[in-house]
Structure 1
Amino acid sequence: MKELYISRVDIVIGFLQKQDITTANKILETDFLPLGHRLINVSTQIKWEAGELGIIDKAKHYGTLFIEEIGDFIQANVDEFFAFTKYAEQIATAASSFDQLDELMRYQPTLIEDEMMNILEEKLQEHTPDLVCFTIPFPGNLFAALRCSQFIKQFFPGIPIAFGGGYCNTELRSLTDSRIFKFIDFISLDDGEGPLLKIVKYLEDVIDIDELERTFVLENGQVVYKNKIPNTIFHHRNLPAPDYSGLPFDKYVSFLDVVNPMHRMWTDARWNKLTISHGCYWKQCSFCDVSLDYIGNYQNTTAEALVDKIEKIIEDTGINGFHFVDEAAPPKMLRALSNQLIERNVNITWWTNIRFEKTFDFELCQLMQKSGCIAVTGGLEVASDRLLAKMKKGVDIAQVARVTHNFSENNIMVHAYLMYGFPMQTEQETIDSLEVVKQLFERNCIQSAFWHQFTTTVHSPIGKDPQEFGIEITGPVFEGFAQNDLYHIDAQGADHPKFTKGLNFALNNYLNGLGFKESLQNWFDFPVPKTSHPKDLIESVLSQVGAN
């Protein structure tokens, strides 16, 4: 079995990089791939497209499961921190203290880390940088960045190192623990252009250290936050197109672990990442980190400038797929963007994140589809009108149904972010929420969704005023490093964690077009209340649209 995995891995990786029908047929031959614990349980209910497209997709799915089996082996036997899209995430999540990170940094690097640092060393020798910057968007990026920084400090001690990105902006705002500065020199907060410019000028001896902006440094053994006012501001409309040079696009693989056409958007195909607007134009949701700059500081641009950037990125990358990664793309801007793309005959395929605003009428959705939009994602959250009002979402179930229907009627797929465990959410509301989700799937208003259990964060309105939402914050005690996720007691709400398995079980069926006739009770191994919603709730909303 070992030899079979080794002999097949390069073929499968090559196929996932450049899908071709010849290799697809080879992968699907009986006994070509070893039947490991994932492939032996592959779903027989998946309906594949006819012709070459279906063959390639099936081979891509089988190839993905094969590679994931190797990933499982690595995680179990080589490196427990390994995953394909993150590394050692569990260590950096809610890391109030730096103790565990500090201890693990003393361990010998794993085989995976050694490979990572071999690549890093090649790049350092090739480019001989004067400054190395690590973007850390998520907890699953922190430990690898620290390992790389440790390597640089050991073998290239003259190179300064800076950290920035979403994790720093969210988690490290109250940093006092100096131990992280054994590995790095600077940590910048919020938009990086201004702080990075000042760091470069400081390293060039153009400015003094006190002129740094939104940057943590170590002075006399103490963590000091340098923030010279007024800050150097680069407005969103004045920023250039992102530079993707140096990325080996031909080596990226397309995974197809979930066949659902909307769900696969995150791992299949290649997307240039770009933001239409900075921040969120709504910025009222009570569960969201609206007090932080990347949410609360809304800045827009013009459609003309945005399409100029799009054309530049296509020229640079050769890729005409775009994922606009806004917190919530403004409808007015999407209309202007769509018109501009059509007028200038710029042919792209794109998708983005939105709020389910009533502005997204049939005509606007039709225009977006004509300009190349194939999908949108948005927050339905708790699917309860009482709780949607409590969280200041600014939408209700009927509006979500109408808007998602408008998108779907124009062949734009819809993914809904779902939430359970919101403060004071009852068992009845949880089950009613699942009923709404089921009906939205059944009526083809949404094609994909994902459940998130609510977490209180320190920067959200709920985290800042928990009593208003009927919860009690119980920890963690801040110990000088990261501060974001909070533990809480919801004495008035349901026992939320026990619903996790059943909600996901139901959703997995709905994602695959199954289970609509099943009673909601069938998804749970404990008694749940019957839904209080009529079976035609969504249908009745949509029929009113038709009547109007």
Structure 2
Amino acid sequence: MRAALIFPPQWDPRHPPLAPAVLAGALRSAGAETRIFDLNIALYRRLLMPTGPHGIEDFLLSRLLNPHSLCNAESYLQTCQQAQKIFDERFDRHGTGRLFWDTCGGLPSAVTSRGWQDSVHSPEKLIFLRHLESEIAEIRQWTPDLISISAISDTQLAATLALAALFRRALPDSRIILGGAAITYRRSILPAQAWLRSTIDAVCLGDGEPLMTALASGVAPNETPNSLSWNEAGAALFGTAILQDMSFLQPPDFSKFPLKEYLTPHLVIPVETARGCPWGRCAFCIHPVRAVTGRPLYRPRPMNLVAAEIAQHFIAGHRRFLIVDEALPPPRLRELADIFADLPEPVSWIGYSRLDAGHDREGFIRARASGCRKLFIGVESGSDRILTRFHKGVDAARARRVLLDAAAAGLAVHSFLMTGFPDEDESDRQATLDLLADAWPAFEPFGVSFDLFPLTGELETDLMANPPAFGWKGPQRDARNDLAWQFPLSHGPAAAESLAEFKSRIHKLADRVLGPAFGLRHASLAQDSLHLLLLEARTRKS
């Protein structure tokens, strides 16, 4: 069987995506002939091609790919901004579509069935796909038996649907499967979208490996595990739910990726050591893959398999890693630190964590000594009232202690913060500011960064299941959001002004306690791996 694994735009073009590599590993073990088509990096590269001799594009590309450019973070980020202007100008010369490093705009809506139908029925209206004509033609000419399109973000949905429609017309005998988080998050509302049947054969609603290996062995799409499809009458058909056994998980296969094409001085390789969240109780976090009891699952891989995968990446020449797990619990952080510390040469890595009680200075010191540069942590709020109400499983006192232990170990921390909770008042916001004021002075200023998000209700969460229990009336669903999986709790100019005002207060606090010198908090970076590269370059420079 020939399998084409497609990663559509838009996603950050600075590191390879994990999802197609995971599927490639599973299909390779099943004996399928597999090719990776990263149309996202192909688009960015096409837009950055020179339009004439000695163009600015060559200069910008050389700067983007030069490791020495990272030594001056402010200058490097200015280069990124100049490149972004080119992406945006050339993405859609009519000015309707917009393209940036970490998002895009002006495309058919990702949250309405009308927007999805527009992408399917009129793919030629996505003008930026013209930049990918040669890649699309190459896929058609290869005539794959299976076309799998992975959409891990809503920014990829318009291209995902348009590509599916184009390939259905050109390759009617190919089986077309959609998957990824942007699909899985909608598992409860997609069964009603039977019109998709004319364009795709199935969507993946869980682990992709069981579905892919079943297809490779000849199972019909509507009989594959973890799938959703529709019969001729439009009735939804669900495949058997199967959880991938993490003890038999095949290592991801990056060998077919265009690794030299990514717009980064150093590749940062994504590594998955577990699936799901070890806490899994926060009232606002979506966890689509659940046990029969309804509780979210945490499924760690055996550490010997993680160590073997990292060793293979090291042999292949990779020295920088992004651990993509939702959160590293304390024992796993220590075990992972030992794996990295045992490698023949120093490496750098980053990951995500929670404010778990078991995290302590000794564990963070081990992580830092093994090459960990930064942890991304869901702090959310400094208000014990809000933390308790939304089941965070942590209080402000523990948050202070864990953050100060991380700072003492020399780690940088990115804090994910939230506002817009029902009944949130000034005392709650001040509690968050007090927490940050206590913790931030202990950190090296350059590495401190944060995001402030408005609280949203997400499908399949406690907040959505019982809104009144959290002081919310619940979402208003209509044709403007019938395929949304997130719903803002606050709307309108007043909510936007409140968010901006609180963000301004946090920035002023940061300037007061950290100083006015440039740091990663000024960069508005959504891209995790660039945090790693800039921190690493700063450390080596000093």
Q: Do they fold alike, i.e. is TM over 0.5?
A: yes
Alpha carbons of structure 1 residues 507 and 78: separation in structure 2 relative to 1, 3 Å: farther
Question: For 1:257-276, what per-residue CA distance to the aligned partner results, in whole angstroms no more than 9, with x for missing partners?
Answer: xxxxxxxxxxx843111122
Q: Percent identity?
A: 18
Within 5 Å, which residues of 2 pair with 1:399-410?
Answer: 399-410=398-409
How far 1:481 sits from its partner (Å)? 6.1
Residue of structure 1 equivalent to 2:417: 418
Residue of structure 2 equivalent to 1:194: 210
The one-letter amino acid paired with 1:247 is F
Alpha carbons of structure 1 residues 76 and 141: separation in structure 2 relative to 1, 3 Å: closer
1:157 partner SS: coil
Residue of structure 1 equivalent to 2:283: 286
Give distance in 2, aligned partners of 1:501 and 1:168: 31
How far 1:250 sits from its partner (Å)? 1.8
- Matched residue count: 458
Give distance in 2, aligned partners of 1:141 and 1:389: 35
Aligned partner of 2:224 among 195, 207, 212: 212
Give distance in 2, aligned partners of 1:285 and 1:89: 33
Structure 2 contact 400–438 (Cα < 8 Å) conserved: no
How far 1:284 sits from its partner (Å)? 1.0
Alpha carbons of structure 1 residues 76 and 133: separation in structure 2 relative to 1, 3 Å: closer
How far 1:506 sits from its partner (Å)? 3.7
Residue of structure 2 equivalent to 1:257: none
Alpha carbons of structure 1 residues 496 and 114: separation in structure 2 relative to 1, 3 Å: same
2:206 partner SS: coil
Aligned partner of 2:260 among 241, 250, 271: 250
Alignment of 1:64 onto 2:64: no
Structure 2 contact 377–415 (Cα < 8 Å) conserved: yes
The one-letter amino acid paired with 1:215 is S
Give distance in 2, aligned partners of 1:393 and 1:320: 34
Alignment of 1:178 onto 2:194: yes
Aligned partner of 1:120 among 136, 140, 143: 136
Residue of structure 1 equivalent to 2:172: 157
Structure 2 contact 311–343 (Cα < 8 Å) conserved: no
How far 1:408 sits from its partner (Å)? 1.7
Question: For 1:10-52, what per-residue CA distance to the aligned partner results, in whole angstroms no more than 9, with x for missing partners?
Answer: 22123212345xxx6xxxxxxxxxxxxxxxxxxxxxxxxxxx9
Structure 2 contact 351–374 (Cα < 8 Å) conserved: yes
Within 5 Å, which residues of 2 pair with 1:23-172?
Answer: 53-54=71-72, 57-74=73-90, 77-83=93-99, 84-88=101-105, 91-95=108-112, 98-104=113-119, 105-106=121-122, 108-125=124-141, 127-172=142-187
1:108 partner SS: helix
Alpha carbons of structure 1 residues 335 and 143: separation in structure 2 relative to 1, 3 Å: same
The one-letter amino acid paired with 1:213 is P
Alpha carbons of structure 1 residues 149 and 345: separation in structure 2 relative to 1, 3 Å: same
Residue of structure 2 equivalent to 1:309: 309
The one-letter amino acid paired with 2:402 is V
Residue of structure 1 equivalent to 2:372: 373
Structure 1 contact 415–447 (Cα < 8 Å) conserved: yes
Give distance in 1, aligned partners of 2:236 and 2:439: 51
Within 5 Å, which residues of 2 pair with 1:350-361?
Answer: 350-361=349-360
Alpha carbons of structure 1 residues 452 and 322: separation in structure 2 relative to 1, 3 Å: same
Larger deviation: 450-459 or 467-476? 467-476
Alpha carbons of structure 1 residues 147 and 510: separation in structure 2 relative to 1, 3 Å: farther
Alpha carbons of structure 1 residues 479 and 442: separation in structure 2 relative to 1, 3 Å: closer
How far 1:476 sits from its partner (Å)? 1.2
Higher relative contact order (CA 8 A, sep 6+): 2
Give distance in 1, aligned partners of 2:437 and 2:53: 40
Aligned partner of 1:13 among 57, 61, 64: 61
Structure 1 contact 79–110 (Cα < 8 Å) conserved: no
Structure 1 contact 74–82 (Cα < 8 Å) conserved: no
Alpha carbons of structure 1 residues 467 and 58: separation in structure 2 relative to 1, 3 Å: closer
Residue of structure 1 equivalent to 2:298: 298
Question: For 1:197-250, what per-residue CA distance to the aligned partner results, in whole angstroms no more than 9, with x for missing partners?
Answer: 22333xx3xx4566322212232141422223xx44421232122111222222
Give distance in 2, aligned partners of 1:487 and 1:447: 27
Alpha carbons of structure 1 residues 456 and 147: separation in structure 2 relative to 1, 3 Å: same
1:68 partner SS: helix
| Unpaired segments ≥5 residues, structure 1 | 25-51, 255-267, 519-548
How far 1:182 sits from its partner (Å)? 3.2
Structure 2 contact 209–244 (Cα < 8 Å) conserved: yes
Larger deviation: 370-379 or 477-486? 477-486
Structure 2 contact 334–366 (Cα < 8 Å) conserved: yes
Structure 1 or 2, whichever has the larger Rg, is 1
Structure 1 contact 290–459 (Cα < 8 Å) conserved: yes
Structure 1 contact 173–189 (Cα < 8 Å) conserved: no
1:293 partner SS: coil
Give distance in 1, aligned partners of 2:466 and 2:459: 10
Give distance in 2, aligned partners of 1:507 and 1:116: 42
Residue of structure 2 equivalent to 1:448: 449
The one-letter amino acid paired with 1:324 is I
Structure 2 contact 408–442 (Cα < 8 Å) conserved: no
Residue of structure 2 equivalent to 1:486: 487
The one-letter amino acid paired with 1:399 is R
2:98 partner SS: coil
Give distance in 2, aligned partners of 1:329 and 1:271: 18
Alpha carbons of structure 1 residues 517 and 121: separation in structure 2 relative to 1, 3 Å: closer
| Unpaired segments ≥5 residues, structure 2 | 1-49, 517-542
Give distance in 1, aligned partners of 2:375 and 2:307: 19
How far 1:321 sits from its partner (Å)? 0.9
Give distance in 2, aligned partners of 1:422 and 1:397: 17
Output the TM-score relative to the length of structure 1. Answer: 0.75
Residue of structure 1 equivalent to 2:395: 396
1:472 partner SS: coil
Structure 1 contact 322–349 (Cα < 8 Å) conserved: yes
Give distance in 2, aligned partners of 1:237 and 1:396: 35
Within 5 Å, which residues of 2 pair with 1:204-283?
Answer: 204=218, 207=219, 211-228=223-240, 231-254=241-264, 269-283=266-280
